[in-house]
Amino acid sequence: MASDTKLTIEGVVELLGILRKMQDQLPKNLKKASNQVAKDWISAAKNKANGEYAGRAAQALSVGSTEDGSTITNSYPGFYGEEFGGRSRPETMMFPPHNGTRGYFLFPAGRENADKFQQVWEAAIDDVAKVWKN
């Protein structure tokens, strides 16, 4: 036997409105956060670079923008040699000793500041979640 009982859920329209606002704000906030993380990461890498050529490579770091966020770019021709080292061939003897994937200034700066970067991401998400509380 079929029942004619109707189920009413209060607040669904308001919930959908809040979710729509969050969906609109989240990409903007995350793009802004990615830009901040990239700038902070570059600043930390510049402070960590030792030596004349590593300093030049670090000074050439810049923040690029994509549709989804930010990238770190570098225009210095010897960047990879200064960051990861060389000396396995005669043409790479001018670089510091090969350091594997650990890096000398950019990647160590990222690892050392990972907690700070995480806080920037979390703050961006928390800011969007404030819509829920209002």
What's the domain count of the chain? 1
Query: Identity (one letter) of the amino acid at 76?
Result: Y
Q: What is the pTM of this model?
A: 0.86
The answer to whether position 91 is within a domain reads yes
Encode pLDDT of 27-65 as tens digits: 999 999 999 999 999 999 999 999 999 999 999 999 999
Domain range for 41 is 29-133
Q: What is the mean pLDDT of the chain?
A: 93
What pLDDT does residue 2 have? 65
The residue among 88, 123, 103, 86 whose CA lies nearest residue 48 is 103
**Rounded Cα gap, residues 62 and 67, in angstroms:** 17
Ranges 2-6, 85-89, 98-102, 112-116: which has the least confidence = 2-6
The answer to whether position 121 is within a domain reads yes
The answer to whether position 7 is within a domain reads no
The answer to whether position 67 is within a domain reads yes
